[in-house]
């Protein structure tokens, strides 16, 4: 069997089951793809070639014996903020350069238990703070579809690796759209489950009440399989849900779909993306589904609330990186005060410093009530309004991003960059699941995505509908 860069896991597993392919051949194919392309794209920070080859040999034996797991032959890359025992993890920051993890993240352990093959760690915006993957301490990632463009962020390396055919799937983390936005920019499926559905144990935290691990794949089927393996309660993470992973619902054939009017009428939305979404709405109506415009009058509040709360949490989470117990320590230190000050100054990049300082400010005496406390109250309003929409509808359908991928260096104003998350932060603020599906190509030759959201812990229904939607859209 001749493996293609665009191969899905179903195609790979079919070749393995028919004896036309081996895990060793699959790994060799991807290693060759990485060798040819990664120098240009900068998606992989490190390739675990020896580990991947060794795992492939063992899994080929399991396939012969009929004992292989659900993910045998699936080659996966990890965003560089997920721990993998005895392997480096840096969150693409100098502050953790050359640090080796002492344990493996729960989500990664579950993948390994089902015989997934981990091939390397992937570049990202430093500490997952960014929307373009230009903030990495190890250089920007390029979009494989047009190297002049950004791949999106913060999981830019994760999407670039899949889009370039350097692995079957990857894991990303999504704090405000960091899986879905880059998936939209690179024409892939990006899935963020409900908050608490997949354990965050072993994920280097950015904002603990927002972060969620999720898969990046070429189709919904592969995303659903990875979700099924990773989801579930974890004693190491008290925020994981005890609810069954499968909701057991038999979904109705015809759906009630809400489209947020403020998103569709947003002057920042590319007219061509709006037109394509209108055509999908017409198609859904023709298929017998109910599609209704609804008002969500808080669109302009979501990004400010998101950045007040996430920077506050980042200020707290990143205080542990001081260059004392591990990570970068400045050679210029003379006492304990200079050790902290100089190590953090040298170790953190400009965007991380900006968010730490903003978060420290909104938590400071005299400003806590004016900013942080008020933002928490608005977050509750956003959650209540979203739940009110779901009381009358099964899904919310909106664009993933207002535009296609932009050129590296084009957006220099931090606030303009933050607004790239305007359609994705709702899912993180309210804890609901969301998925970005590739719609096709814009007239500029770049892909863009459509986004579907559903009530919290309704992943099964969302993935079923997303699979249907991907079929009719394509």
- Active-site choice (132, 154, 454, 461): 154
Edge-first strand listing for the sheet containing 189-192? 44-47, 117-122, 75-79, 169-173, 213-217, 189-192, 434-441, 447-453, 395-399, 256-260, 290-294
Is 454 considered catalytic here? Answer: no
| 128 contacts: CB under 8 Å, gap ≥ 6 | 79, 81, 91, 154, 155, 173, 175, 178, 204, 206, 211
What are residue 396's phi and psi, to 5 degrees?
-115, 130
SS3 80: coil
The CA distance from 12 to 219, in Å, is: 14
SS3 41: helix
| Residue 360: CB atoms within 10 Å | 16
- Following DSSP, what letter does each residue of 222-282 receive, concatenated? HHHHHHHHHBS-BTTBTTS--S-SS------SS-EEEEEHHHHT-TTS-HHHHHHHHHHHH
The CA distance from 336 to 242, in Å, is: 43
- Active-site choice (136, 178, 194, 436): 178
In terms of Cα–Cα distance, which of 274, 270, 268, 218 is closest to 444? 270
Cβ(78)–Cβ(46) under 8 Å? no
| 181 contacts: CB under 8 Å, gap ≥ 6 | 131, 152, 153, 190, 400, 401, 420, 421, 424, 436
Is 154 considered catalytic here? Answer: yes
> Which stretch of DSSP H or E encloses residue 46?
strand 44-47
Partners of 396 in the beta sheet? Answer: 258, 453
- Active-site choice (79, 110, 192, 342): 79
Is 319 considered catalytic here? Answer: no
As a whole number of Å, the CA-based R_g of the chain is 21
| 236 contacts: CB under 8 Å, gap ≥ 6 | 106, 199, 201
SS3 171: strand
Q: Per-residue b/e over 393-407, b at no fewer than 16 CB within 10 Å?
A: bbbbbbbbbbbbbbe
Cβ(98)–Cβ(129) under 8 Å? no
> Which residues does the annotation mark as catalytic?
79, 154, 178
């Amino acid at each position: 069997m001749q493996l293609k860069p665009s191969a899905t896991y179903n195609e790979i597993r079919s070749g393995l089951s028919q004896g036309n392919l081996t895990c060793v051949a699959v790994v060799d194919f991807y290693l060759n793809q990485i060798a040819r392309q990664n120098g240009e794209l900068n998606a992989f920070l490190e390739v675990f070639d020896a580990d991947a080859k060794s795992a492939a040999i063992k899994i080929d034996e399991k396939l012969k014996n009929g004992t292989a797991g659900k993910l045998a032959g699936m080659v996966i890359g990890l965003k560089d903020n997920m721990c993998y025992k005895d392997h480096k993890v840096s969150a693409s920051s100098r502050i953790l350069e050359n640090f080796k993890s002492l344990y493996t993240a729960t989500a990664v352990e579950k993948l390994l238990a089902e015989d997934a093959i981990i091939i390397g760690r992937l570049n990202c915006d430093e500490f997952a703070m960014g929307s373009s993957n230009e903030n990495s301490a190890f250089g920007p990632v390029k979009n494989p579809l047009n190297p002049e463009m950004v791949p999106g962020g913060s999981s830019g390396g994760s999407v670039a690796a899949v889009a370039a055919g350097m692995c079957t799937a990857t894991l990303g983390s999504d704090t405000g759209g960091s899986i879905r936005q880059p998936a939209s920019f690179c024409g892939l499926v990006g899935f963020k489950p409900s908050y608490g559905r997949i354990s965050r144990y072993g994920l280097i935290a950015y904002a603990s009440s927002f972060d969620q691990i999720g898969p990046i794949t070429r189709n919904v089927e592969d995303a659903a399989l990875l979700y099924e393996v990773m989801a579930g309660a974890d004693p190491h993470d008290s925020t994981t849900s005890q609810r069954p992973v499968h909701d057991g619902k038999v979904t109705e054939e015809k759906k009630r779909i809400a489209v947020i009017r403020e998103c569709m009428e947003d002057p920042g939305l590319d007219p061509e993306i709006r037109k394509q979404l209108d055509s999908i709405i017409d198609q859904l109506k023709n298929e017998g589904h109910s599609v209704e415009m609804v008002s969500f009058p808080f669109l302009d509040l979501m990004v400010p609330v998101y950045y007040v709360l996430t920077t506050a949490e980042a200020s707290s989470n990143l205080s542990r990186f001081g260059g004392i117990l591990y990570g970068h320590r400045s050679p210029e230190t003379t006492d304990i005060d200079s050790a902290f000050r100089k190590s953090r100054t040298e170790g953190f990049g400009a965007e991380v410093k900006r968010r730490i300082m903003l978060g420290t400010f909104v938590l400071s005496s005299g400003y806590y009530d004016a900013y942080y406390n008020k933002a928490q109250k608005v977050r509750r309003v956003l959650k209540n309004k979203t739940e009110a929409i779901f009381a009358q509808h099964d899904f919310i359908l909106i664009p993933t991003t207002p535009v296609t991928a932009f050129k590296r260096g084009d957006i220099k104003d931090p606030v303009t960059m933050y607004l790239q998350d305007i359609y994705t932060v709702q899912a993180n603020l309210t804890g609901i699941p969301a998925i970005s599906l590739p719609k096709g190509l814009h007239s500029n030759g770049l892909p863009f995505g459509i986004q579907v959201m559903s009530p919290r812990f309704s992943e099964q229904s969302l993935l079923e509908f997303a699979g249907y939607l991907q079929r009719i859209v394509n």
